[in-house]
Amino acid sequence: MKFETKAIHVGQAPEPATGAINVPIFQTSTYVQKSPGTHKGYEYSRTGNPTRTALEECLASLEEGKYGLAFASGMAAISTVLNLLKTGDQVVSCDDLYGGTYRIFEKVYRDYGLDFVYVEPTNPATFEKAITKKTRMVWLETPTNPLLKIVDLKAVAKIARKHKLISVMDNTFATPYFQKPLTMGIDIVVHSTTKFLGGHSDVIGGAIVTSNKKYYERMKFCQNAVGGVPGPMDCFLVLRGLKTLSVRMKEHEKNAKKIALFLQKHPKVKKVLYPGLKNHPQHKLAAKQMDGFGAIISFVLKSNLAGAKRFLSKLKLFALAESLGGVESLAEHPAIMTHASLPKNVRDSLGISDSFVRISVGIENVDDLIEDLKSGLAVV
């Protein structure tokens, strides 16, 4: 089955009792057993729920993995992956990553004895150079958040295998429509299903996909033991979003390409970061390992904080809000919003300045979006 067909059909056969075309929302906390320990595959909805099972099967198929796990948020998924580690273990991570990931690394798991090292991710050799006897995991994003750097997944996966490390990739920005890390040697993929997979800004969720049975069984145990699971309505909403993922991603990218070119030529924009632009430092690598460049654009204004605030406040169609990946366009200020948990010196070293803006391009008419950006830039 091709991607578009999987998104609509895998795990989603018509309900046998009634013939309902959509997977029912099994709004139940528990399941009646015929006798103690004899049940129909479900016993308690923290452990398993048929609506969640459908979502997990569909997600696994889209990432070309064997096993899927759904969670109440992307952060719950990330936390569960980290539960594969023990006190004293080290994670080598790319230095540019989602602020919430940095926060859980530094403010939660470091307190439990894990160590985190951050490297510039565009050169695979930097990962290998950072590996020590304590290293157990490599953590990746590509494109990274918010600088949109591209990591050579095959090269880093090879390094991880050489040193017997667990390789983890956050595929939220690209989605499995544009990029399939497991096929390039990555062990575990994580998602915030809140974003493009859900696609409508109406649900919070997370996911893990892997083909490694050992890792899956441990994370499945932790999913049940810790309990950060999504409710059936949330699973239903993400499943609904997956059905149109391929259609939406095509429109997202088409609009993003036009907007990136517009911003690149605007006199009040200092720099545009988008992997689809030929002047992006890793454009050729992105074109090689991705099937599309996505819908996230970051850019630097020729202004200061006050000018960036005027720009963002003037926008009408680009809603000023955290998150990304919905059908509507969003704009945000990473230094104040999504990446405020990074210390200022870290933000400065990465280049997340007061004039740095990130936008998530929606599927509205692109001419309307460009006019909205023009009105914002006029007050910078």
Instruction: Check: CB of residue 107 under 8 Å from CB of residue 75.
Output: no
* Domain tally, the chain: 2
pLDDT of residue 37: 86
Give the CATH number, domain containing residue 355.
3.90.1150.10
The ranges of the chain with pLDDT < 70 are none
Give the CATH number, domain containing residue 183.
3.40.640.10
- Candidates 6, 195, 257, 358; catalytic one: 195
DSSP, collapsed to helix, strand or coil, labels residue 115 as strand
Closest C-alpha to 299, from 327, 259, 242, 347: 259
Verify that 296 and 214 share a domain, yes or no.
no
- Candidates 96, 115, 152, 170; catalytic one: 170
Verify that 266 and 213 share a domain, yes or no.
no
Residue 170 falls in the annotated catalytic set: yes
Residue 195 falls in the annotated catalytic set: yes
Domain of 259, in residue numbers? 245-377
User: What is the spatial distance between Cα 325 and Cα 371, in angstroms, rounded to a whole number?
Assistant: 21
Closest C-alpha to 372, from 281, 361, 205: 361
Verify that 26 and 171 share a domain, yes or no.
yes
Verify that 187 and 292 share a domain, yes or no.
no
Verify that 126 and 73 share a domain, yes or no.
yes
Verify that 125 and 251 share a domain, yes or no.
no
For 348-371, the three-class secondary structure string (H helix, E strand, C coil) is HHHCCCCCEEEEECCCCCHHHHHH
Verify that 53 and 196 share a domain, yes or no.
yes
Residue with tokens 């969670």: 71
Instruction: Check: CB of residue 144 under 8 Å from CB of residue 122.
Output: no
Residue 330 β-bridge partners: 319, 360
- Candidates 6, 67, 96, 98; catalytic one: 98
Closest C-alpha to 191, from 80, 111, 103: 80
Q: Residue 171 carries which side chain, given as an amino acid letter?
A: N
- 198 contact partners, CB below 8 Å, separation of at least 6: 205, 237, 238, 241, 325
Taking the CA atoms of residue 186, residue 192, residue 198 and residue 201 in that order, the dihedral angle to the nearest 10 degrees is: -150
pLDDT of residue 64: 98
